[in-house]
Structure 1
């Protein structure tokens, strides 16, 4: 019998300690990420006894015809050995094919090495998170950021009276109104991906305080023209979940990006890196993220297990 439990906001106190213990800088290890997208990916979880430990298993799938997609099993006692992880995964999956994703190259290699049957191991370039030096994004210094500075200066010169404010529960409705207007402009109703993202944004705002999210909005003449949401993911990494701006305001994206990074660095002096998540295979988004010169990627691999075996 399947004893997995659908992930809800009330499960944060159970799940978040495991995610923090994993210590990974990938966005999948944020409870906010899991919750935001759980309505799309039908995310659920289970804690099982295994090898004198209690392991958290998180799985998801968008469609019932797809195999379940698991994160690497997690323990409150530190890293989980590959043979233990595989034993737990087979215990809950039985004869059904499954995928383990958001893996480091090392984790993927270790899982593949101990299986008794061939498995499919693939890098997931579309899911690589982009991580940047915080100081680079906060100052945009040097020739490599000249174009960014040009856009930023154009914004400052065109809108010298702009305001930057922290998002509070009181102004969430106004942010949602801005997001709805952005969606109408960008055609969310015709784009499945944008439509799903809009749903995820609404879930983020619905749990804004409980999730510990922080946000910043940029206003011109009292109107929100850009906003962003994020959180402290690890001691030295700030994770940006959402960033929206009306395209008619040249430099608005550059402005809200820079202002939010400065906010994070001031509030959390240990922040060294900014994780701006993946590009989902969108080439326009990939070019935009590459133009900010990432320091490195949080590379991700998947291992597809098509046949049952005993580890």
Structure 2
């Protein structure tokens, strides 16, 4: 990967040794986004060219292709205007101008506008919004709006009465990887168009290899002792977790079932962040069908000329 041009901030690749420092900062921010999960940043850092710097209690990320770099909005707690000024200077040193900020939430956008009134235009970053759900809704599937989901689960239980859900751990890693590998084989993780799916399979392997250090958890769904679905998640803060991976094989209702089992099992969290739709219409509809408590829309802040 091409080295970053020199600037004021010291950006570095994300390493496991950063987990404690970065997690402390992320949790202090109260941010609910998947980008405030250290595990997410670590697992996808190389794929998306993410590097990070710490400045005055904030984590700042730079990511993207060499000709399309982006600075993330600072995540942390403290004097954010001072940190943004540092980002401005860093950008000027690297690129000759301030290239702006990315991955802003509505709250970030409001804050930036108060700090720099009229200095930015804002563009929605399509496909980057996180879908955040009340855990109890996904666990209980209450009311008429979840009627279809309850039917999917009832059908699964009727078709596959010999099912069980096991927590993810050393004893179940191989079974979870079997699900991911079979899913990959069916959905074309190799060859033309499969690069991103193959990268996801690599990220799952990396997650399991560093499972405890990353503080991950999840489960495997079995039918007649055959693993048919897997899920893995990581903590964002004491209220929110990030569902990093979820894969199911061609068993009717398996996705609905593992989603429900996960929500019923991990009761320490109020909210489940099931990440973005990546601009895929089918994925967007699937995520909306579970009635998110909030869609965490993201914006780019572009400096006015």
> Aligned match of 2:204 in 187, 201, 204?
201
Shift of 1:17: 0.8
Deviates more, 1:151-160 or 1:63-72: 63-72
1:25 counterpart = 2:32: yes
Hey, which bits of structure 1, 4+ residues long, moved more than 6 A? none
Which range moved further: 219-228 or 121-130?
Answer: 121-130
SS of alignment partner, residue 64 of structure 2: coil
Residues 220 and 89 of structure 1: is their aligned pair in 2 closer, same or farther, counting only changes over 3 Å?
A: same
The 5 A counterparts of 1:128-143 are: 128-143=129-144
Partner of residue 183, structure 1: 184
Task: Identify if the C-alpha distance between structure 1 residues 238 and 45 changes in structure 2 by more than 3 Å, giving closer, same or farther.
Answer: closer
Q: 1:85 aligns with which of 83, 86, 99?
A: 83
Bigger mean CA deviation after superposition, 143-152 or 83-92: 83-92
How far the C-alpha of 1:291 sits from its partner, in A, is: 0.5
TM-score, scaled relative to structure 1: 0.86
1:240 corresponds, among 243, 246, 257, to 243
CA–CA separation in structure 2 for the residues paired with 1:234 and 1:61: 23
**After the TM superposition, which residues 70-219 of structure 1 pair with which residues of structure 2 at under 5 Å, given as runs?**
70-74=72-76, 78-81=77-80, 83-95=81-93, 96=95, 97-112=98-113, 114=115, 119-189=120-190, 190-219=193-222
Asked if the contact 1:39–1:200 (Cα under 8 Å) also holds between the matched residues in 2, the reply is no
> In the TM superposition, what is the alpha-carbon distance from 1:115 to its structure 2 partner?
5.0
Superposition deviation, residue 69 in structure 1: 3.0
Q: Which moved more, 1:89-98 or 1:136-145?
A: 89-98
2:13 is the alignment partner of 1:14: no
Separation in structure 1 between the aligned mates of residue 301 and residue 172 of structure 2, nearest angstrom: 43
Asked if the contact 2:53–2:59 (Cα under 8 Å) also holds between the matched residues in 1, the reply is yes
Q: Structure 1 residues 194-203 or 17-26, which shifts more?
A: 194-203
- The secondary structure found in structure 1 opposite 2:218 is strand
Secondary structure, in 3 states, of the residue corresponding to 1:40? coil
**Conserved? CA contact 1:45–1:56, under 8 Å:** no
Find the residue that maps to 2:266 and give its secondary structure.
Answer: helix
Over residues 15-50 of structure 1, what are the superposed CA-to-partner deviations in whole Å (9 max), with x where a residue is unaligned?
1111111111111101011011102122222234xx
Q: Which residue of 2 aligns with 1:259?
A: 261
1:239-291: per-residue Cα shift (whole Å, max 9, x none)?
21111101x200101110000001111xx1xx322211111111000000011
CA distance in 1, matches of 2:29, 2:18: 17
Aligned residues: 293
- Shift of residue 116, structure 1, vs aligned partner: 9.3
Q: Structure 1: which 5+ runs fail to align?
A: 49-53
* 1:51 equivalent in structure 2: none
1:68 equivalent in alignment to 2:70: yes
The alignment's TM-score, normalised by the length of structure 2, stands at 0.88
- C-alpha distance in 2, partners of 1:125/1:171? 36
Residue 302 of structure 2 corresponds to 304
Q: Which 5+ residue runs of structure 2 have no aligned equivalent?
A: 1-5
Q: Following TM superposition, by how much is the alpha carbon of 1:126 offset from its aligned partner in structure 2, in angstroms?
A: 1.7
Give the CA RMSD over aligned residues. 2.2
Paired with 1:71 and 1:114, the residues of 2 have a C-alpha distance of: 13
